[in-house]
Amino acid sequence: MKILIGVLLVLAALGAAALIHTLTIRARKSDYVPPEDNPRALPYAEKLSRMVKYDTTSYPGTDQRETFLGYHKILEELFPLVHARLDKTEIGGSLLYHWKGKSDKYPVVLMGHQDVVPVSGEWTKPPFSGEISEGKVWGRGSVDTKCSCMAFFQAVEELLAEGYEPEQDVWLSTSCTEEWGGPGCPALVEELRKRGVKPWLVCDEGGGLYTDPMMGIKGNFAMIGISEKGRANVKFIARGKGGHASTPQKNSPIARLSAFVCDVERHCPFRSEMEPETRAMLEALAPAASFPIRLILENLWLFRKPVEWFTPRINGQAAAMLRTTITFTMASGSNAYNVMPREAWVGANMRFVHHQDMEESLEVMRRIAARYDLEMEVVHGTACTRMIDYKGEVYRYVADTAAKTFPGCISSPYILTAATDATFYDEICDNCIRFAPIVYGQEEKKGIHGVNEALRYDCLPGAVDFYKNLIVDNRH
């Protein structure tokens, strides 16, 4: 009894300490909202509309240079000063622009991509209409990522019109094969390598001004991407004797695959662990959370282990932040109902966390597959990208620029679960930031690679201003 009372007293003391600690920290709101009456918004929307109207759908392994050369003519019309005064290099449809500064010691690369994913499903507006209505620009690419490309082109266009000369070299990079991880961006990186350019900062898509980024946290937050999870497409193959379905065999390929899939989905085999960068994100968001969430996030010294154990079981977003994930996405068996397959397989997409990166995560799956007599084939795989120091100079520079451009907006480090072209720039740059200064609400996020992609264009002036500030306020 004395031991139980002692334990209860300790728990009560810890709870009281957590409560007091939370009450002593001032709650904050991330209350930046794009102004609705900015006179620049509609002209910017019209430029984005022109870009969206040109179909730049890319297809794996296809040479589409001629298609993108047509798109480049649109860019020349929309941004004449950029094309008159910057040095342009075109490689297979991808583009690299050089704006020479007073120094080339700390070059900055602003980047996005020209291409978009194929259209599917039923759309409310035609997917390449570029229609401007309901406060939005509608169409494929309006969010991913012609909006950010328009913004940095426009930022440079306006600075050129003002007669500004940058302190450091500025490069604009936009590939035409991002959506399938093709050769566009690697070719641009190789071009910079040949010229001896080692960027001080690369700023690509990935993070952004996310609306309501987590349960219990409301507002627009500058989620600044500092790394990407690794990823792989994996195939699990079961072999058997085949035969006629009228004489079924036990332990058939499909039965083994089914048992394997159920096992993995019911009993996640990967470690849930809060990395320092994830903890930094949660603590940055904590002051804006509702009180119950805030109590937990402000006291991760006490609640970290419960968060690591419990939240991935109830929330897919939390699971993606804390552990490697695997999603089964494809399957194949025989080509007839009455034929047992000699071979069947399921395909899966894996996303690796840094604390259990590609090699270890794949080995975990290989061992489980062996228990079900399955072969495992890695179709494609890449490890996690390096972490950028969220306490370092470059991250701080981007966060300060966001604070200046979007007053009242809380910023936070962020690890991407998706993939970007910035991965290729890791070869020549130590600080590849994933941040597009666009407001991504729930509808915008749904439209990415989905139907009815559309962007509220009231956020475009802020995006242009962010890139202008990033160029002008260079600290070197």
Q: Where are the domains of the chain?
A: 41-228+385-472, 241-382
Q: How far apart are CA 455 and CA 137, in angstroms?
A: 5
Contact 60, 182 (CB under 8 A): yes
User: What SS3 class is residue 179?
Assistant: helix
Strand positions, DSSP E, 179-252: 201-211, 220-228, 230-239, 243-244
Cβ neighbours around 404 below 10 Å, total: 13
CATH 1.10.150 at 241-382, yes or no: no
Closest CA to 260 of 376, 358, 340: 376
For residue 416, the model assigns a pLDDT of 92
Query: What would the DSSP string read from start to end of 38-94?
Result: -TTHHHHHHHHHHHHHS--B--TT---HHHHHHHHHHHHHH-HHHHHHSEEEEETTE
Provide the angle, in degrees to the nearest 10, between the axes of the packed helices 300-314 and 2-24: 90
Query: In terms of DSSP bridges, do strands 87-91 and 136-138 run parallel, antiparallel, or are they unpaired?
Result: unpaired
Who's near 207: CB < 8 A, 6+ residues apart?
222, 223, 224, 225, 414, 416, 433, 434, 435, 436
For residue 246, the model assigns a pLDDT of 83
For residue 296, the model assigns a pLDDT of 85
Q: Name all contacts of 16-20 with Cβ < 8 Å and 24+ positions apart.
A: 17/302, 18/295, 18/298, 18/299, 18/302, 18/303, 19/295
DSSP state of 219: B
Please, what are the averages of pLDDT over each run of 10 residues along the chain (476 residues)? 56 58 72 93 98 97 95 98 98 98 96 96 96 97 97 98 97 97 96 97 96 91 96 96 85 95 95 93 90 84 83 75 94 92 96 96 98 96 94 96 96 92 95 97 94 97 98 80
Positive/negative CA dihedral, 400, 402, 408, 410: negative
Kind and range of the H or E run holding 216: none
Q: How far apart are CA 219 and CA 33, in angstroms?
A: 8
Give the pLDDT confidence of 76-131 residue by residue, as tens digits. 999 999 999 999 999 999 999 999 999 999 999 999 999 999 999 999 999 999 99
> What is the reported pTM?
0.92
Query: What would the DSSP string read from start to end of 275-294?
Result: -HHHHHHHHHHGGGB-HHHH
Contact 197, 424 (CB under 8 A): no
Residue 173 amino acid letter: S
Q: How far apart are CA 159 and CA 166, in angstroms?
A: 9
Closest CA to 325 of 392, 230, 402: 230
For residue 7, the model assigns a pLDDT of 46
Who's near 194: CB < 8 A, 6+ residues apart?
none
DSSP state of 388: P
Q: Name all contacts of 157-161 with Cβ < 8 Å and 24+ positions apart.
A: 157/79, 157/80, 157/81, 157/82, 158/464, 158/468, 159/468, 159/471, 159/472, 160/81, 160/82, 160/85, 161/81
For residue 244, the model assigns a pLDDT of 81
Distances from the Cα of 320 to the Cα of 172, 265, 294, angstroms: 32, 14, 21
Kind and range of the H or E run holding 340: strand 339-340
CATH architecture, range 41-228+385-472:
3-Layer(aba) Sandwich (3.40)
